[in-house]
Amino acid sequence: MRIIIERDAVCAADDTSWHCEEFTIPDGITIAGLFEFLEFKYIPVIAGNNVVWALYHQDVEVGTYFTKIQSFINGNVPLSSIINNSERDNTFYLRYYSPDRYRKRFI
């Protein structure tokens, strides 16, 4: 299965890079599996490793990865079900948050 992912820049130096890439992933991959796949190929390393990556599809948050505690929201959801329920749209966006900034979205 092919997906397209774009992500936020994480610092000023990162702004100069293009952040949209296409990946071929296994058909049965879950959201947790996608984050594990991307962690060493695409997601930048952040000092302290205490960040939150939220995965969006069509402007809806579909999954979240807390790097410090290696925990997921909706980690068991198959990516194929998200794509199949959206008329085959395979484009995703990764948004970067500090843990405090992520929590404040719900207050």
Over residues 54-101, the pLDDT tens digits come to 999 999 999 999 999 999 999 999 999 999 988 878 999 999 998 888
Share of the chain above pLDDT 70, in %: 89
Q: pTM for the whole thing? A: 0.87
Which among 8-12, 49-53, 79-83 has the top mean pLDDT?
Answer: 79-83
pLDDT above 70: residue 18 = no
C-alpha distances in angstroms, 65 versus 16, 39, 70, 71?
25, 10, 7, 6
| Structure tokens that stand for 39 in this block | 């962690």
